[in-house]
Chain A
């Protein structure tokens, strides 16, 4: 595969500067990205819907009106994960159930992106209803990792991360319920931010676990993530859980003095069993950070031992009722059952929902059902409180928590599809953050000897995305810069 053309390789900030100086037009930029999409899609399958005509038309309209610096994403191509509704466009959530569903309204994030001048180029692939960490549970096709096409990109926002990594677009939006932005960002070698719960509106985003879901950006640099966040963050009256805390200025960041930073390293995560290449990269990253003068300290967070169990009980319970609306009555797939309503329900839901979605619905239904509620759902919510309090305790003595994103690099397709429990356990690095609710930033720590990227994440106190991004800027400067991915099977 040839290197990406120069325009498609630009990051958001560089492309923005070029657009404002009229070095190239929004249409030229969109065209370069869309050409790159056409070129790379046969290899990686990152997108479920590509809006070539609409995007070029939109870019031309923007060009005709001339650049507007106050529109922070003016003329910049972006993608959204296929759980964001866009008016008049299909939204499948990666599910057969929603094949052909066209929404009559739009996600608040998409509306804000349009307002900021962004050009929506594509909707990206995902694990069905964002349930998974490999994008193999997409009902349509798996996405492949640009660093090694025989491997998964991670998930559930695997299409978003693969697309960013393959230079299909400079910015993408995904969702993170238990690591679904940070883990694919790490496995594909890009930057991904899960903002605080309530920082970005969830309105118009297909729900998975309502108290855990959060929308956030992926890009090829920390400051680009800041730009994307700046365009969408802030209160939304349509999402009751959206916070009234005013956003910070995420578009202008400067790295802090490393000597002042205190990072906590949770023992329970760092003492896990790692893939040796991954471990090497992570240890090197820690040495770089320490070398720069930052203080790193191992801290015990014993409650994290229960986080996988607590997370999967809570997420599955919420999912089991969030997905009850997919019943074949008002929209979506309906089984060809003419006489029996119960048969219609069961037929539509069994055929329309994939195996992993059904597995989590069963688990969640069980955890909420009479006789089990206290032992599973309520217990998990109590454990969540302990985990939350553990985070708050750490932030009293430290600026940030530093943690691995995944104990393994991207794995070969098909490795765990029949072993759900093992795959759940692989999420142990990322999902504690969603139980807490604060922000987390995943960024590349380097390439392993196997040629696969390894990520590291910084976690911070709720609604302090700006200092988190600024610390990310510092780390980004310390860690080795990744080359373009080879787009071939290793």
Chain B
């Protein structure tokens, strides 16, 4: 890949920080990593701008290749086993209070 293929990045540090906030991530584990991730993102997004060269006027977006998928299911409660039991699910929780999942207070 040649350096000149990357145009001026569309996603600068601000876009990276906004995305990180939406995704509930710290941009990096430390400032150095954060800086690197910002740079990576700018570079990658810069490359994605190649999409602008593709003429897609009037093209219907394709979101999935699914073919003859499953119809809706009947409104019937699960018959016995198969799925994860409520207790097995609670067992995997990092913290519970009684039968509740517990987290630090929301507000």
B-binding residues in A (CB < 8 A): 101-105, 196-198, 211, 235-237, 239-245, 303, 305-306, 308-310, 312-313, 320, 324, 327-334, 337-347, 349-351, 353, 355, 358-359, 361-363, 365-367, 369, 372, 375-376, 378-386, 388, 420-422, 424-425, 436-438, 462-463
B102 and chain A: residue at smallest CB distance: A329
| Contact B25 A344, beta carbon cutoff 8 Å | no
Once the chains are docked, how many angstroms separate the CA of A384 from the CA of B22?
26
| Contact B44 A462, beta carbon cutoff 8 Å | no
B15 adjacent to chain A (CB < 8 Å): yes
Selected from B43, B50, B66, B106, the residue in CB contact (under 8 A) with A309 is B50
Given the known inter-chain contacts A240-B70, A330-B89, please indicate yes or no for A366 contacting B41, CB distance below 8 A: yes
| Contact B84 A105, beta carbon cutoff 8 Å | yes
Interface members, chain B 62-86 (any A CB < 8 Å): 62-70, 73, 82-85
Residues of A within 8 A of B60 (CB): 382, 385
Residues of B within 8 A of A365 (CB): 19-20, 22-23
| Contact B93 A330, beta carbon cutoff 8 Å | yes
| Contact B22 A339, beta carbon cutoff 8 Å | no
Residues of B within 8 A of A437 (CB): 65-67
| Contact A386 B44, beta carbon cutoff 8 Å | no
A-B contact count (CB 8 A): 210
| Contact A237 B41, beta carbon cutoff 8 Å | no
CB distance from B17 to the nearest CB of A (A): 10
Selected from A243, A343, A349, A378, the residue in CB contact (under 8 A) with B25 is A349
Once the chains are docked, how many angstroms separate the CA of A313 from the CA of B25?
19
CB distance from A358 to the nearest CB of B (A): 6
B27 and chain A: residue at smallest CB distance: A362
| Contact B51 A198, beta carbon cutoff 8 Å | no
Once the chains are docked, how many angstroms separate the CA of A320 from the CA of B24?
11
Residues of B within 8 A of A351 (CB): 29
Closest 6 CB pairs between A and B? A437-B65, A104-B88, A104-B84, A381-B61, A382-B56, A334-B94
Selected from B19, B27, B28, the residue in CB contact (under 8 A) with A369 is B19
CB distance from A157 to the nearest CB of B (A): 20
Residues of A within 8 A of B16 (CB): 362, 366
CB distance from B55 to the nearest CB of A (A): 9
Residues of B within 8 A of A196 (CB): 65, 67
| Contact B63 A361, beta carbon cutoff 8 Å | no
| Contact A359 B1, beta carbon cutoff 8 Å | no
Residues of B within 8 A of A385 (CB): 56, 59-62
| Contact B103 A366, beta carbon cutoff 8 Å | no
| Contact A350 B29, beta carbon cutoff 8 Å | yes
| Contact B105 A424, beta carbon cutoff 8 Å | no
Residues of B within 8 A of A375 (CB): 51-52
CB distance from A47 to the nearest CB of B (A): 23
| Contact B19 A329, beta carbon cutoff 8 Å | no
| Contact B44 A358, beta carbon cutoff 8 Å | no
Residues of A within 8 A of B106 (CB): 341
**Extra 7 A-B pairs, beta carbons < 8 Å, given A330-B89, A355-B37:** A104-B83, A211-B65, A349-B24, A350-B25, A384-B61, A385-B62, A386-B56
CB distance from B72 to the nearest CB of A (A): 9
CB distance from A481 to the nearest CB of B (A): 34
CB distance from B10 to the nearest CB of A (A): 8
| Contact A338 B66, beta carbon cutoff 8 Å | no
| Contact B62 A244, beta carbon cutoff 8 Å | no
CB distance from A470 to the nearest CB of B (A): 21
Given the known inter-chain contacts A327-B24, A380-B51, please indicate yes or no for A366 contacting B69, CB distance below 8 A: no
